[in-house]
Structure 1
Amino acid sequence: MCDQNRPVLINLVLNMSRLFVLFLTVMLSSAAWSETAFRQLRMDEESSRPLEVALWYPTLQHGALQTIGDNIAFSGTRALRDAEPTSGEHPLLLISHGYGGNWRNLNWLAQRMALQGYIVAAVDHPGTTTRNQHPQDAQQLWLRPQDLLHVMNKVIATPALAGRVDSRRIAAIGHSLGGWTVLELAGARFDAQRFITDCQQHPILSGCKLTAKLGIDQPLAASKLVADARESRIKAVVSLDLGLARGFRPDSLRQITVPVLIMAAQADSDALPASLESGYLATYIPADRQRYRRVEGATHFSFMQMCKPGAAALIEQEAPGEGIVCEDGGTLSRNAIHLHLLKEISSFLNQALDYQPPRAGNPLASSH
């Protein structure tokens, strides 16, 4: 009797073992992305253009979460500071902020993409960031794409910072002037004289008002800006309501080969009209290489981090007229707009990079 039952018992034990291994694998996979880690560093301290860098990345560690990038006006995100990165390779997402912005502006997106297994790196561009608007730095606009490449190379070469990068899966995303920056990496080439001439017809555009501050009218700028800054390791780019688009040469936009997601504010303004900025990209980038979206309820500033209650009034006290950064259009809240943006952006990037996030659960869940 026992001999006859032995094969059944053996199979039962084996099946239970397989189920246990499967259960353990699922649990470890879920746990692997259960926390986001955060780290800051300063690169090239001895150079004339040192870079402040913020990194978000997945970690297996658990501990006391800290609020990152929080102040009296803007909400931060929760993360484990300086935790050990997870093993394995991860896609890399580079982030470029707008004129006068900083790495905190897209913290809401960075934290949520890290939950999907991405390493996310954001840089403060000297001369065009909140704490550094030195004219000599701002007037080297052509160095903005190079800033992202320096950060990319540093993260790839130093896995201890945020984990190992899957070099086949690297993308870049930028808001406003950051959108201009990442389009440069995709192969768009900027013609300074074309831009200046166009500004004579559209002087109200916000980008035109930055011509002198960004040094676009300087003799040295023309040859520097028109140079090909294409980076072959960048496999996809996302532009969030960019400016300065009309300086890009149409022929260079037609030659872009990587997928491009173009997102524009539906509640746009005369200074940054979607038809003349993001719409300009959609006109010339081949249809099979781009996806164009007008984001319902979004103003130019809806792409930025969450404002706390009363933030607009506080900002107005310090900088009259700047409280607009907390204004959204229509009836949608900024959090609702962010959830829509996250769905569009993550779907686009995962498809463009042929990446399947391993995390079980809902990557769209709010982190606030």
Structure 2
Amino acid sequence: MSPHLARRYSYTRTFLSAAILVAGLIEPVLSQAQDTSAHPYGPGVTSLTIGDDRQDRPLAGDLWYPTQTPGLFSQADKSKVWQMAAADPDGKPAEGRFPLLVLSHGMYGNTFNQAWLGSELSRRGYLVAMINHPGTSTFLRDPDQARELWDRPVDLSRVITFLLEDEATSKRIDPDRIYAAGHSLGGYTVMLLAGAKFDTERQTVICTGENQPVVCGVFAGWSVAETAADRKQMSVSRKDSRVRKVISMDLGGTPLFSEESLHAIDIPVLVLGSERADMLNQEVESRALAAALPANMVHHLELEDAGHFDFMGVCKPEAFEILKEDEPGDEIVCVKGSREREHQHRRIVAEILDFLEP
């Protein structure tokens, strides 16, 4: 991967440095807030550890869920850069069965990246499970696990299986309303759950020519599909029939999907793109994905004036200047990242709810 590409994909490192290095200067402050909006539930969140037989690939993250107290939450003010998502840690769960959404973060991302979405959806009656993907997350970087990229969709399937079998969570999940969403590389990941398949021949052609898409540099940096055994694993279908709908949020990786597999997708897909295209070429990514999917299965929306990082958390008003000074180059994550990003978040949540509701 070129230094330029590495810099442009350093946003998850920025998230980590902003949360630990910059924000470490501030003592965490928890405040109780009363929300006057008309959300039916509160934003509960608890830690999630997947207990299964994959000892080689432990999974952990967060589970957001609806609580019985819609207006009460705690908010940690522990970052100079990021606004923390509203949360009621270990709040009492609301009664009933709810839809389950499994959410996949981007390259070297983590569960904090879309915590805002977990919070917003839990307040509207959704369970949202998110884990840190081993090898490709902020905290779990390992060359072999990154190379074994086929395990990313398997991670999400394992989460679904665990939650459906666990006594504490199974009774709260509606098994007929299981969904998946992902941002950037996470979007690529959830498309594999929907039935998309990696195409080794397309990789060979596209990633040896000129004007290579971003995904070629990323996969080359991780040595993805370089051996016959790995190419075979990458080409295996990872479709999970329990997933009824999928949401792609400014995905990266469309050029390496088998066109035949995209034509055969048989569940609804919401393709959200970013009009500013500040990180990914929409022509070869979200637009190309939407064009390849069956017309009756896809809804494509390019969010006006949105950038790649608008699917991450809201920046504080002063965050751009802080990052520009402390982490030069990384301020890109906070371009229009405050009030403008709050507007984009409202639009994203509205579109997701319209798509998921029966």
TM-score, with structure 2 as normaliser: 0.83
CA contact (8 A) 1:301 1:328 kept: no
Task: Indicate the larger mover: 226-235 or 69-78.
Answer: 69-78
Indicate the residue corresponding to 2:272 in structure 1.
Answer: 263
Indicate the residue corresponding to 1:335 in structure 2.
Answer: 342
CA contact (8 A) 1:86 1:163 kept: no
Task: Report % sequence identity.
Answer: 35
Q: Does 1:292 align with 2:300?
A: yes
Q: Distance in 1 between the 2:39 and 2:280 partners?
A: 41
CA contact (8 A) 1:37 1:80 kept: yes
Task: Indicate the larger mover: 182-191 or 35-44.
Answer: 35-44
- Residue by residue over 1:253-287, the C-alpha shift from the partner in whole angstroms, topping out at 9 and shown as x without a partner, is 01100000001100004x51111111121121111
SS in 1 for 2:93: coil
SS in 1 for 2:276: coil
Q: Distance in 2 between the 1:229 and 1:135 partners?
A: 21
Q: Distance in 2 between the 1:145 and 1:42 partners?
A: 17
- Residue by residue over 1:50-71, the C-alpha shift from the partner in whole angstroms, topping out at 9 and shown as x without a partner, is 1122111011158973336953
Indicate the residue corresponding to 1:349 in structure 2.
Answer: 356
- Deviation (angstroms), 1:205: 2.5
Alignment of 1:237-316 (within 5 A): 237-269=246-278, 272-316=280-324
1:74 is matched by which residue type in structure 2? W
Gaps of at least 5 residues in structure 1 are 1-29, 355-368
Task: Indicate the larger mover: 119-128 or 312-321.
Answer: 312-321
CA contact (8 A) 1:31 1:60 kept: no
2:174 is matched by which residue type in structure 1? D
SS in 1 for 2:198: coil
Q: Distance in 2 between the 1:344 and 1:204 partners?
A: 31
CA contact (8 A) 1:193 1:222 kept: no
CA contact (8 A) 1:140 1:215 kept: no
Q: Distance in 1 between the 2:162 and 2:77 partners?
A: 22
Change (3 A) 1:163 1:202: farther
Q: How many residues align?
A: 320
Indicate the residue corresponding to 1:231 in structure 2.
Answer: 240
- Residue by residue over 1:187-224, the C-alpha shift from the partner in whole angstroms, topping out at 9 and shown as x without a partner, is 00011331242123354522121122333242132111
Q: Does 1:323 align with 2:331?
A: yes
- Deviation (angstroms), 1:78: 1.7
Q: Does 1:216 align with 2:224?
A: yes
Indicate the residue corresponding to 1:124 in structure 2.
Answer: 132
Change (3 A) 1:258 1:62: closer
2:220 is matched by which residue type in structure 1? A
Q: Distance in 2 between the 1:276 and 1:31 partners?
A: 40
Q: Distance in 2 between the 1:334 and 1:31 partners?
A: 21
2:173 is matched by which residue type in structure 1? V
SS in 2 for 1:65: strand
1:197 is matched by which residue type in structure 2? V
1:236 is matched by which residue type in structure 2? K
SS in 2 for 1:201: coil
Indicate the residue corresponding to 1:8 in structure 2.
Answer: none
Alignment of 1:90-169 (within 5 A): 90-161=98-169, 164-169=172-177
Indicate the residue corresponding to 1:361 in structure 2.
Answer: none
SS in 2 for 1:264: strand
- Deviation (angstroms), 1:239: 0.3
Change (3 A) 1:134 1:315: farther
Change (3 A) 1:348 1:78: same
Change (3 A) 1:128 1:215: same
- Deviation (angstroms), 1:334: 0.5
TM-score, with structure 1 as normaliser: 0.81
Change (3 A) 1:282 1:160: same
CA contact (8 A) 1:85 1:162 kept: no
Indicate the residue corresponding to 2:198 in structure 1.
Answer: 190
- Residue by residue over 1:98-125, the C-alpha shift from the partner in whole angstroms, topping out at 9 and shown as x without a partner, is 0011111111211111111111101111
2:44 is matched by which residue type in structure 1? A
CA contact (8 A) 1:88 1:164 kept: yes
Task: Indicate the larger mover: 156-165 or 251-260.
Answer: 156-165
Q: Distance in 2 between the 1:237 and 1:304 partners?
A: 18
SS in 2 for 1:104: coil
Change (3 A) 1:207 1:159: same
CA contact (8 A) 2:48 2:62 kept: yes
Q: Distance in 2 between the 1:49 and 1:69 partners?
A: 32
- Deviation (angstroms), 1:332: 7.3
CA RMSD of aligned residues (A): 2.5
- Residue by residue over 1:3-59, the C-alpha shift from the partner in whole angstroms, topping out at 9 and shown as x without a partner, is xxxxxxxxxxxxxxxxxxxxxxxxxxx999331210013334981211122111011
Change (3 A) 1:332 1:35: closer
- Deviation (angstroms), 1:234: 0.3
Indicate the residue corresponding to 2:33 in structure 1.
Answer: none
CA contact (8 A) 2:76 2:84 kept: yes
